[in-house]
Amino acid sequence: QVQLVESGGGLVQPGGSARLSCAGSGFTSDYYIIGWFRQAPGKEREGVSCISSSDDSSWYKGSVKDRFTISRDNAKNTVYLQMNGLKPEDTAVYYCAVAFRAGTIVDMPPAVAFTSWGEGTQVTVSS
């Protein structure tokens, strides 16, 4: 059974940093894409970043591209999202999800492609 568990959220001051972790288990393939999504109150879920296990290629939403960094620790089956320069508009519940597919990332796969999701972790950016 595939499981994803997010951690690392919390209250952060504007301009601060946080690192989210997504620990995966029960994966049925070595080829997968881990995506980070977020949903703010009253807004639709949006893709933030993703990374491919095939070649560590990645994608970022435009508004986070110069502030967030996604990385992968294969030995720990964990994907990280380092978030720097946080802004109040980054406040949301952050979810990680897995899509079992190989290849180089050129764009964020649609949410329907991700077959397993974590429970989410709250990130609140406020002074």
pLDDT for 35-68, tens place per residue? 999 999 999 999 999 999 999 999 999 999 999 9
Average pLDDT over all residues of the chain: 96
pLDDT band at 28, cuts 50/70/90? confident
pLDDT at residue 66, as a whole number: 94
Single-letter code of the amino acid located at 7: S
Query: Under a CB-based contact definition with an 8 Å cutoff, are residues 88 and 32 in contact?
Result: no
For 97-118, write each residue's pLDDT tens digit: 999 999 999 999 999 999 999 9
Q: What are the structure tokens assigned to 126, written together?
A: 């406020």
Q: What are the structure tokens assigned to 9, written together?
A: 């959220």
- Distance CA(84)–CA(24), nearest Å, equals 24
